[in-house]
């Protein structure tokens, strides 16, 4: 493998920023991260000049529905898993995401990518493709709707096959969590799936039926996951009791707690708390959830994920660094914290002995852009911008 030198940048480490820093990657591993010219004349096959930008660890995205949108960008408009996976990977590399937990929901849908068998087929296809030919690190986050008892056997098979890297428990039954009333859930179904009233009624009835078996499903799948070493998460927790319940079943990560007291309770209990980067960038939740910035400011959230919009990871990190916390702390929320939470020992920071997953970020009119992405010492993305000097703009050529 080639030796890669990234230099002339602001090197962001977990505890400090080194100006004029550099990173050397040899045989896919970081062998040096420090000040410019500390490599003592070692030669490099590839030299990438950061041009004063930031040198960061590649982002680790623990939750993103982007693959579902790539597979079905419009209701009923499907693309093959091969096309969706290939195109999404290119986008993710350009957004600085070097480890992606593709989120698939087994929610008992009758159609679309959230139908149980469809989701399982896509998961198996992605696992196979990622094993053979990939530019970034691809993992599977399987989201289980706890009322969907018919999916338990499918999930057990996927865990046994080693196709699941993170399992989360969701409960979208009206009356708690993200949908405090039946009307809230009904509006969600109408807006998202454009369903007629009779179908919405059937879904609500099935959820009530499944609620009676939800506890049994959680017990069974949590035992399977823990035996296989698969980390567990809960979703949309709305109380300390919810945190406690899932923690008893091995959950160590709470995703998108609904309110600040719940997020605080999770952190006090030693549970990691993940909030959505789009919430940071947009200034709030799309629903009735808390503002993510409030949880971060209070020290009640430690992980960022992209939720439904992968580009938001990069922008949330730099917004936080500009307004709330240090750049090292903001970067850690997208790198070292998720790596620690999900037991990823080889990625997440720019330290000797870690895998060479590195990105370069530069500001373009105050907006951060990824110009280079390296995964395991292999450059997988590079972007150059055409620059026109002010005095030349009046006489631009056709090129």
Phi, psi of 252 (to 5 degrees): -120, 0
Whether 270 has a pLDDT exceeding 90, the answer reads: yes
Buried b (16+ CB within 10 A) or exposed e, 367-394: ebbbbbbbbbbbbbbeeeeeeeeeeeee
Whether 150 has a pLDDT exceeding 70, the answer reads: yes
Q: What is the DSSP letter of 77?
A: B
CA dist 341 → 26, 61, 123 (Å): 27, 12, 22
Average pLDDT over residues 117-142: 96
Q: What percent of the chain has pLDDT over 70?
A: 84
pLDDT for 192: 61
Average pLDDT over residues 199-203: 62
Q: List the strands of the sheet with 137-145, edge to edge.
A: 59-64, 97-106, 137-145, 166-170, 232-235, 253-255, 272-276, 303-305
Range with the lowest mean pLDDT among 18-27, 48-57, 206-215, 329-338?
206-215
Architecture of domain 4-56+351-382: Roll (2.30)
Whether 174 has a pLDDT exceeding 60, the answer reads: no
pLDDT for 195: 60
> What pTM value is reported for the model?
0.90
Domain boundaries, the chain: 4-56+351-382, 59-341
Dist. CA 104–CA 54, nearest whole Å: 32
pLDDT-based confidence at residue 286 (cuts at 50, 70, 90): confident
CA dist 113 → 73, 142, 200, 226, 273 (Å): 11, 13, 18, 26, 27
pLDDT-based confidence at residue 206 (cuts at 50, 70, 90): low
Over the chain, what is the mean pLDDT?
A: 90
pLDDT for 114: 87
Per-residue pLDDT reduced to its tens digit, 327-358? 999 999 999 999 999 999 999 999 999 999 99
Whether 234 has a pLDDT exceeding 90, the answer reads: yes
Q: What is the DSSP letter of 370?
A: E
pLDDT-based confidence at residue 75 (cuts at 50, 70, 90): confident
Average pLDDT over residues 56-61: 98
Strand partners, 170: 145
CA dist 385 → 34, 78, 362, 371 (Å): 28, 33, 11, 9
Average pLDDT over residues 238-259: 97
> Domain 59-341 - what CATH class?
alpha beta
Whether 164 has a pLDDT exceeding 90, the answer reads: yes
């Amino acid at each position: 493998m080639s030796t890669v030198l990234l230099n002339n940048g602001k090197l962001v480490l977990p505890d400090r920023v080194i100006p004029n820093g550099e990173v050397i990657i040899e045989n896919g591993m970081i062998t040096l991260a420090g000040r410019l010219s500390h490599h003592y004349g070692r030669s490099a096959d590839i030299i990438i000049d950061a041009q004063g930008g930031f040198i960061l660890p590649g982002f680790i995205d623990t939750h993103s529905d982007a693959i579902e949108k790539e597979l079905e960008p419009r209701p009923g408009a499907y693309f093959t898993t091969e096309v969706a996976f290939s195109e999404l990977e290119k986008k993710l590399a350009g957004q600085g995401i070097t480890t992606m937990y593709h989120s698939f929901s087994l929610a008992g849908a009758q159609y679309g990518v959230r139908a149980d068998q469809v989701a399982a087929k896509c998961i198996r296809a992605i696992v196979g493709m990622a094993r053979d030919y990939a530019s970034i690190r691809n993992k599977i986050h399987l989201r289980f709707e706890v009322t969907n008892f018919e999916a338990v056997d499918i999930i057990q098979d996927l865990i046994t096959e080693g196709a699941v890297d993170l399992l989360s428990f969701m409960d979208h039954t009206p009356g708690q969590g993200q949908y405090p009333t039946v009307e809230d859930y009904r509006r969600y179904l109408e807006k998202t799936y454009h369903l007629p009233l009779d179908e919405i009624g059937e879904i609500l009835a099935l959820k009530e039926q499944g609620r009676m078996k939800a506890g049994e499903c959680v017990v069974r799948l949590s035992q399977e996951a823990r035996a296989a070493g698969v980390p567990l998460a809960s979703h949309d927790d709305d109380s300390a009791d919810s945190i406690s319940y899932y923690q008893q079943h091995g959950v160590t990560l709470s995703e998108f707690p609904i309110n600040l007291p719940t997020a605080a309770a999770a952190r006090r209990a030693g549970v990691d708390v993940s909030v959505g980067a789009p919430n940071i960038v947009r200034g709030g939740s799309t629903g009735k959830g808390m503002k993510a910035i409030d949880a971060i400011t209070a020290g009640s959230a430690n992980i960022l994920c992209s939720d439904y919009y992968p580009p938001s990871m990069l922008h949330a990190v730099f917004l936080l660094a500009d307004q709330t916390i240090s750049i090292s702390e903001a970067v850690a929320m997208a790198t070292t914290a998720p790596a620690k939470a999900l037991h990823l020992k080889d990625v997440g920071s720019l330290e000797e002995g870690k895998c060479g997953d590195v990105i370069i970020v530069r500001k373009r009119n105050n907006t951060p852009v990824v110009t280079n992405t390296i995964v395991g010492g292999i450059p997988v993305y590079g972007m150059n911008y055409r620059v026109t000097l002010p005095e030349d703009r009046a006489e631009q050529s056709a090129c």
